[in-house]
Amino acid sequence: MSRSMFAELAFTDAVRGVQEKMGSRGFYAKEEGAPAEEARFGEAETAFIHARDSFYMATVSETGW
């Protein structure tokens, strides 16, 4: 998933509000405006994932993303 696609999914109005409050909104706004790109794992990332036997996911917004 590209950064701009992730931002579209994860940056709800509430998340944007926290970004604004914490002073990071300007940086993330640039990410949202970036052209979509196809993001793929490289060899190192693929090998790392293959070596795992578990998965961790953190949530940051009211949508669960």
Cα 19–8–48 angle (5° rounding)? 90
Domain ranges of the chain: 3-50
Q: Which tops the pLDDT comparison, 45 or 40?
A: 45
Q: Which tops the pLDDT comparison, 57 or 3?
A: 57
pTM of the model: 0.51
The span from the CA of 1 to the CA of 65, in Å, is 13
| pLDDT tens-digit map of 12-37 | 899 899 999 999 999 888 877 777 66
